Amino acid sequence: MEFRSEEVDREFGYIEDVGLNAMRVFLHMYPFENNKIAFLDNLERYLNIADKHGIRTIFVFFDYCWYGDDRVFTFESIRGRHNGRWAKCSLTKDRIVDNYPRFRAYIQEIIGQYKDDDRILAWEIWNEPKN
């Protein structure tokens, strides 16, 4: 799926209009691993648009809330399901050790590139680890 700059810009205009100044954004390592260049390009475009509207970002690397098993992303919504389009991440307690090099590379690449970037308010490594 393409990054839709015009839609993101319009949505951030709405957010700015109501006075919000921060956005929590969930990243996912599958698109990063599948096409790192496109992923990082989209991340930069997102950050530029958010900055234009005075919005800082909290990036979340891993999430323990999903629907279904490991699967490829789908852009078809599953009605009535919380996170019905969200692909399960491999970060579960029993899989951390086996996947640690992948997780570490993913986090270090992004934080390394953006560690001093004022457009980013905070980093969250793992959302709801015991959910």
CATH 3.40.50.300 is the classification of domain 5-127: no
Calpha distance 68→74 (Å, rounded): 12
- Comparing 68 with 11, the larger pLDDT belongs to 11
| Cβ atoms within 10 Å of 87's Cβ, excluding its own | 19
User: Across the chain, what does the average pLDDT equal?
Assistant: 83
pLDDT (tens digit, 9 = 90+) per residue, 36-58? 999 999 999 999 999 999 999 99
Calpha distance 66→89 (Å, rounded): 8
Rounded to an integer, the average pLDDT of 64-69 is 59
Task: Give the model's confidence band at 103: pLDDT under 50 very low, under 70 low, under 90 confident, else very high.
Answer: confident
pLDDT (tens digit, 9 = 90+) per residue, 2-40? 789 999 999 999 999 999 999 999 888 888 888 999 999
Rounded to an integer, the average pLDDT of 86-113 is 77
User: 122 in helix, strand or coil?
Assistant: strand
- Predicted local distance difference test score (pLDDT) of residue 51: 98
CB 131 within 8 A of CB 64: yes
Domain ranges within the chain, ordered by starting residue:
5-127
